[in-house]
Amino acid sequence: MTVTDMSAEDEKYRAPALTKGLDILELLASASDGLTQVEIGKMLGRTTSEIFRMLVVLSQRGYVELSGDDRYQLTTKLFEVAHRHPPIRRLTAIAGDAMQKLANRINQSIHLCILQGGRLLVVAQVDCPDNNLNSVRLGAQIPIFDSASGRVLAAFMDDAALEHLLTLAGTEAGERRDRFLADLPGVRDVGYCEGPSLTLAGVTNLSAPIFDYTGKAVAAITTPFIHRLNSASHVPVPEARNALVETCRDLSKRMGAGAAVDR
């Protein structure tokens, strides 16, 4: 097929309205405080009338909502729709009880991440019984370069998949990106990530992968381990790490990984 043929084929299957709607959703996903109709139009290079029609439909379908200060924000509907996807639904269904048991056992909050568009998406989160918590918000999107979860998922990728992930994550990270790549061989060798948090002092991040039936690391369970000074149920880091790895190994088997987790 020639370049001309490909261009004709692309033109044949264009869907301008769908494109505009997706552009708006992707833009609002990166705007934590929402955007006005005028701001959306300006950032997308669209007229306000084009944007207005799209926003009306997206609002009617429940994907965006208008706040009191005339700013449009995403609702949780995209997150809810994503959870109807069978692999994610199965993963969160089988992981929930195991995560809560782990949180109770090590007295730390736990979250489950998957990769989405070059970032981490928190799709499940549980708290421990202690009064003092350090938890990550359900639905949060986290840059991969500063995270233990990102290191765990990237460490078990082949070269092509890793290169694609890095492209999606962006090249502006600089030294953070270099440090991230340097950590991957060690994570792969031991099968988990353990180290000081790169965003919070006094926190040790512990993370391990969950594999599916193909042997692919599809999710990571992570605890931002806080070092309590006066807790009656203090669990040492090595014990917490071993319990985390054990939980992820069991969940991998339940996802059909079998021997694929024994790397």
pLDDT tens profile 195-220:
998 888 889 999 999 998 888 899 99
Distance in angstroms (rounded) separating the CA atoms of residues 146 and 148: 7
Q: Taking the alpha carbons of 95, 216, 156, 169 in that order, is the dihedral positive or negative? A: negative
- Averaged pLDDT for residues 125-147: 83
Is it the case that residue 241 has pLDDT exceeding 90?
A: yes
Distance in angstroms (rounded) separating the CA atoms of residues 77 and 80: 5
Residue 57 or 135, more confident? 57
Distance in angstroms (rounded) separating the CA atoms of residues 226 and 111: 14
Is it the case that residue 1 has pLDDT exceeding 50?
A: no
Q: Where are the alpha helices (DSSP H) in 173-215?
A: 175-190
CATH topology of domain 3-75: Arc Repressor Mutant, subunit A (1.10.10)
Residue in 82, 130, 124, 79 with CA at minimum distance from that of residue 106: 130
- Residue carrying structure tokens 């948090």: 197
pLDDT in tens, 69-127: 889 998 877 766 665 665 667 777 778 889 999 999 999 999 999 998 889 999 898 98
217: CB partners within 8 A, 6+ apart: 152, 153, 155, 156, 157, 209, 210, 211
Domain boundaries, the chain: 3-75, 81-261
Q: Taking the alpha carbons of 114, 115, 117, 120 in that order, is the dihedral positive or negative? A: positive
Is it the case that residue 10 has pLDDT exceeding 70?
A: no
* pLDDT recorded at residue 15: 77
The one-character DSSP state at 35 is B
CA distances from 62 to 56, 78, 194 (A): 10, 9, 40
pLDDT in tens, 247-260: 999 999 888 886 44
* pLDDT recorded at residue 162: 93
Q: Which CATH architecture has domain 81-261?
A: 2-Layer Sandwich (3.30)
* pLDDT recorded at residue 232: 62
Residue 144 or 10, more confident? 144
pLDDT-above-70 percentage for the chain: 87
